[in-house]
């Protein structure tokens, strides 16, 4: 039986109208009061992530968190039929995942969940939103540490976060993933619609959203239309022809400045190397051959002001050492 703290965490953070099911592959939306009695339910609402869920599809995995030096989970659910389990880490500060959410916290959460899944050899194909219900009597429930709730920074200390995260492994939210993919597509696709009307553009965005709605439990058409409309309005307003030209011009200018700075740094490094070789007594021809440049390049570097100043300083040091 779940503790009062765990029951409160589940009830407060579940949505009011969520997916639940008596059997895993027959989920349907229902009100929270009814969903709480089902063996399978959507623990995280459509607007926020309150629990990180790890799916372990192998027997006797309930203690895998302890075997891999992870903190005690909020709950562990064990299937008595095959001893497979799901591990849940409740979050003290849920992360927003709507289309208006900030991307960085979501990416941080996704990286932590991916790293935790990797550590316990969990199932990367588990994308939710349905999971085992900790409040259901169909499962064996274990609370190792009286329902602790964690901050993301604390969980991150136990794992090595990936530098590049595979997309949708594991999934954080259908609407957020769809919004990000649709927005990424729209920034380039809108260039073909600048000479057309907004209604034509909005229809094209909706069709693309329907193509991207390939989740195990697809988004409802009403929610899909809302996300598509939001993306269409934003890109139509802010991704204009004049803005695109200005953006490309700015990128080209910044790229040129970065290239010039890189060339200067490379030249300064080569000049210092030339200086060291001359101090070793090498001739200009030997230096040119060693560095793979023309003799005239080495000569020009020997005449640059910075080089002359360094040479004078080294000469002064040599004079002082010879006294």
Query: Residues 295-314: pLDDT tens digits?
Result: 888 887 777 654 444 444 43
Number of CB atoms found within 10 A of residue 144's CB: 17
Answer yes or no: is pLDDT of 2 > 80. Answer: yes
- Phi-psi bin for 48: left (phi > 0), alpha (psi -120 to 50), beta? beta
Q: What percent of the chain has pLDDT over 70?
A: 81
Residue 240, SS3 per DSSP: coil
User: What's the topology of domain 261-322?
Assistant: Arc Repressor Mutant, subunit A (1.10.10)
Average pLDDT for residues 9-24, to the nearest whole number? 88
Q: How confident is the prediction for the chain on average, in pLDDT?
A: 81
Across residues 275-287, what is the average pLDDT? 79
pLDDT exceeds cutoff 50 at 6 = yes
Would you state the pLDDT for residue 202?
93
pLDDT surpasses 70 at 320: no
pLDDT in the model for residue 244: 60
Q: Which two tokens stand for residue 52?
A: 């990180």
**Alpha-carbon distance 282 to 286, whole Å?**
6
CA–CA dist 314, 294 (Å, integer)? 25
Q: What are the structure tokens assigned to 23, written together?
A: 């059997």
Contacts of 148 (CB under 8 A, 6+ apart): 71, 72, 74, 90
Please give the average per-residue pLDDT across 24-28, as a whole number: 78
Quick: pLDDT tens for 78-135.
999 999 999 999 999 999 887 677 778 888 998 999 999 999 999 887 877 789 999 9
Question: Please, what is the end-to-end C-alpha distance for the chain in angstroms?
Answer: 88
With both helix axes pointing from N to C terminus, report the angle between 241-279 and 305-322 in degrees, rounded to the nearest 10.
Answer: 30
Residue 222's pLDDT is 80
Residue 12 vs residues 6, 16, 32, 89, 92: alpha-carbon distances, Å: 10, 10, 10, 15, 12
Report the pLDDT averaged over residues 14-43: 88
C-alpha count within 13 angstroms, C-beta hemisphere, residue 247: 9
CA 135, CA 246: separation in Å to the nearest integer? 56
**Is residue 166 very low, low, confident or very high in pLDDT (cuts 50, 70, 90)?**
low
pLDDT at 241: 67
Q: Are strands 28-31 and 17-21 parallel, antiparallel or unpaired?
A: antiparallel
Which has the minimum average pLDDT: 3-7, 155-159, 258-262? Answer: 258-262
Q: Would you place residue 235 in the very low, low, confident or very high pLDDT band (cuts 50, 70, 90)?
A: confident
Question: What are the b/e assignments for 111-140, b being 16+ CB within 10 Å?
Answer: bbbbbbbbbbebebebbbbbbbbbbbeebe
When comparing pLDDT for 7 and 175, which is higher?
7
pLDDT for the residue 23:
83
Please state the pTM of the whole predicted model: 0.57
How many whole angstroms separate alpha carbon 15 and alpha carbon 218?
17
Give the mean pLDDT of 261-282: 71
Between 321 and 97, residue with greater pLDDT = 97
Residue-wise pLDDT tens digits, 184-233 = 898 889 888 888 899 999 999 999 999 988 877 777 788 788 888 888 98
Q: Is residue 40 within 8 Å of residue 53, measured between CB atoms?
A: no
* pLDDT reported for residue 204: 93
174-239, what's its fold?
A: Endonuclease III; domain 1 (1.10.340)
Q: Tokens at residue 290, please?
A: 């060693």
Q: What is the pLDDT of residue 321?
A: 42
């Amino acid at each position: 039986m779940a503790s009062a703290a765990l029951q409160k965490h589940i009830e407060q953070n579940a949505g009011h109208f969520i997916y639940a099911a008596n059997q895993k592959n027959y989920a349907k939306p229902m009100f929270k009061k009814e969903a709480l009695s089902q063996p399978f339910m959507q623990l995280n609402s459509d607007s926020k992530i309150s629990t990180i869920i790890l799916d372990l599809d192998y027997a006797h995995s309930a203690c895998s968190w302890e075997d891999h030096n992870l903190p005690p989970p909020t709950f562990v659910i064990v299937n008595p039929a095959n001893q497979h389990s799901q591990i849940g880490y409740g979050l003290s500060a849920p992360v927003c995942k709507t289309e208006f959410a900030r991307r960085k916290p979501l990416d941080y959460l996704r990286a932590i969940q991916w790293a935790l899944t990797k550590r316990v050899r969990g199932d990367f194909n588990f994308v939710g939103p349905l999971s085992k219900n900790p409040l259901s009597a169909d499962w064996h429930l274990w609370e190792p540490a009286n329902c602790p709730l964690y901050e993301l920074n604390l969980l991150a200390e136990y794992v090595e976060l990936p530098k590049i995260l595979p997309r949708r492994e594991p999934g954080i939210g259908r609407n957020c993933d769809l919004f990000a993919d649709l927005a990424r597509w729209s920034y380039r696709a809108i260039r073909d619609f600048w000479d057309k009307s907004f209604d034509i553009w909005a229809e094209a965005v909706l069709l693309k959203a329907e193509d991207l709605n390939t989740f195990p439990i697809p988004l409802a058409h009403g929610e899909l239309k809302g996300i598509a409309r939001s993306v269409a309005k934003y890109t139509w307003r802010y991704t204009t022809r004049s803005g695109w030209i200005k953006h490309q011009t700015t990128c080209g200018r910044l790229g040129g400045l970065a290239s010039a700075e890189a060339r200067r740094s490379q030249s300064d490094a080569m000049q210092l190397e030339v200086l060291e070789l001359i101090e070793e007594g090498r001739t200009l021809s030997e230096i040119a051959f060693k560095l793979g440049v023309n003799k005239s390049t080495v000569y020009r570097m020997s005449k640059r002001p910075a080089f002359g100043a360094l040479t004078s300083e080294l000469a002064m040091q040599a004079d002082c050492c010879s006294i």
